[in-house]
Chains A and B, each alone.
Chain A
Amino acid sequence: MTVERDADRRLRAWISDGADRAPERFVWAALAEIERQPQRPAWRLVLDGWALRLRPAAGILAAAAIVLVVLDAGLPLIVPNVGPGAAERDLTLAELQAVVLWEDTMPAGWTLDNLVTNGDQVRLIPIRSMTDTELQALAVPDGYLGGRYADFSGPDSVFMSWGTVFARDLDAAAAMPFYEREMATAAGWGLGPGTGFELGDGGFIYEGPTTRLMGDPGEPVPARIYLWRHGNVLLAMAGWFAYNPVELDAVAAGMDQRAKTLAREAR
């Protein structure tokens, strides 16, 4: 014990030896760097932390997604393709990159903040009614292939563009009511029944104050969320705080138009 205490004392003496004053140049360099660096909004950090917590399950689910992609490749041989229109085919996961909003398609004045392409995380991002444990246990919807999510900051607003791809449009249609409930119910975003609108195969606009932007109930903030289906793809576009509804209408229409254009091209 004496030897141990002596070793502790020696360790303490050894470790106390070192510099105690920070050279100012390092502090000034950091301050110069933050002049160019905006603070990240708290909601962004909550999302990041939440995505990290989901990571342990990601490997298994990613493997499942790969199996589904492989199945999808063979699917046209087994099941006839049922698209939203005779002239449209199903979109692939890779094509979602061109549909979900990105730097080259975002409105002027917006900044791209974050991209999530891990399909296991993307499908869970809009869900507010479940605990982390429940989310981990939530079954993958039938035919789910993956998704893409990007979020953006405007001058006084934040935005989200989201898309998920399913093996068939029937699978996407089957998954849609789950997300509709998530938008409408008090346990979810609490935005009440949506207003129907004509984009793709139809969808809803949900608008009103929500306390669930950051997951846990917080201060109510204005929200406008578009959720719709285009063939085998579920799409959403959302704005919070001081969004411009006309601008959001145009962004959602642009996403749908890009999905339509791709679906009409030969694969």
Chain B
Amino acid sequence: MDRSLVEQAQRGDREAFQALAFAVSDRLFATAHRILRDFDAAGDALQGALVRIWRDLASLRDPDRFEAWAHQALVHACHDQLRRERRSTAAFRIVDTDSVVDDPAGAVTNREEVERAFRRLNADQRAVIVLQYYRELSLPEIAELLQVPLGTVRSRAHYAKRVLRAAIEADARPAIVENVQ
């Protein structure tokens, strides 16, 4: 990320911020989509995060950390989005799983089980999983990004993985049994 662009945006330069926003929006959106599992909700979270990033940009002390800091704002926005969604519908929207299944190895044949398990997680737990498995961050890096203690991240990751692995293993069980036989 261009440090000088961040510094210009910090001084209130809207054009510089526009360039920054387009530079990071794909990565932020991809993360939001995986946390929220909904295209429009991810778009709303991206929009909310960009506004938050602009508003609070002056507080970013190290411009080189812009992208990590932007992800922090995005996780907050996902949190808000999930809260709003829960309030308004009291249930998650159902993702059209047929349209997203692309699993050439046949590793996960029934994704609904995993999808449902993931939706049982709260925003913090989802964020840790997405940052670890999609953004490939280590747990200490996630703790720094989210500004929470490492122990908290470990416990969120542990709980979330237990839930998800149970779902994945339940899906995989027939295949394993077949191999044993």
Q: CB within 8 Å of B: which residues of A?
A: 3-4, 6-23, 25-27, 29-31, 33-35, 37, 39-42, 45-46, 49
Contacts and interface: CB of A to CB of B under 8 A. Distances in A.
A18 B33 contact: yes
Contacts of B69: none
B141 interface: no
Contacts of A23: 29, 43
Contacts of B48: 30
Most B-side CB within 10 Å, residue of A10, A20, A40: A10
B33 A27 contact: no
B81 to A, nearest CB: 12
Contacts of B68: none
B177 interface: no
Closest 9 CB pairs of A and B: A22-B29, A30-B50, A45-B59, A26-B43, A22-B25, A42-B58, A7-B165, A34-B54, A30-B47
A11 B30 CA distance: 16
Contacts of B102: 17
Interface in B50-89: 50-51, 54-59
Interface string B153-181: 00000000100110011011000000000
B29 A34 contact: no
8 contacts: A9-B107, A11-B114, A13-B107, A16-B133, A20-B30, A22-B30, A31-B50, A34-B51
Contacts of B58: 39-42, 45
A14 B55 contact: no
B150 interface: no
A11 to B, nearest CB: 6
B18 interface: yes
Given A26-B43, A27-B46, A31-B14, 14 more contacts: A7-B168, A11-B165, A17-B101, A18-B30, A18-B34, A18-B100, A20-B29, A27-B50, A37-B54, A37-B55, A39-B55, A41-B58, A42-B58, A45-B56
Contacts of B103: 13, 17
B29 A21 contact: yes
Given A10-B108, A12-B133, A40-B56, A31 B34 contact: no
Per DSSP, chain A at the interface is helix
B34 to A, nearest CB: 5
Nearest to B61: A42
Nearest to B161: A11
B42 interface: yes
Contact of A31 (B21, B30, B129): B21
Contacts of A42: 58-59
Contacts of B56: 39-40, 45
A4 B165 contact: yes
Given A15-B34, A22-B25, A34 B133 contact: no
B140 interface: no
Contact of B46 (A9, A10, A30): A30
Nearest to A45: B59
Interface string B108-148: 10010010000000000000011001100000000000000
A14 B168 CA distance: 10
Given A19-B33, A30-B50, A37-B54, A13 B26 contact: no
A20 B39 CA distance: 11
B6 interface: no
A42 to B, nearest CB: 4
B15 to A, nearest CB: 10
A34 B52 CA distance: 9
A236 B46 CA distance: 41
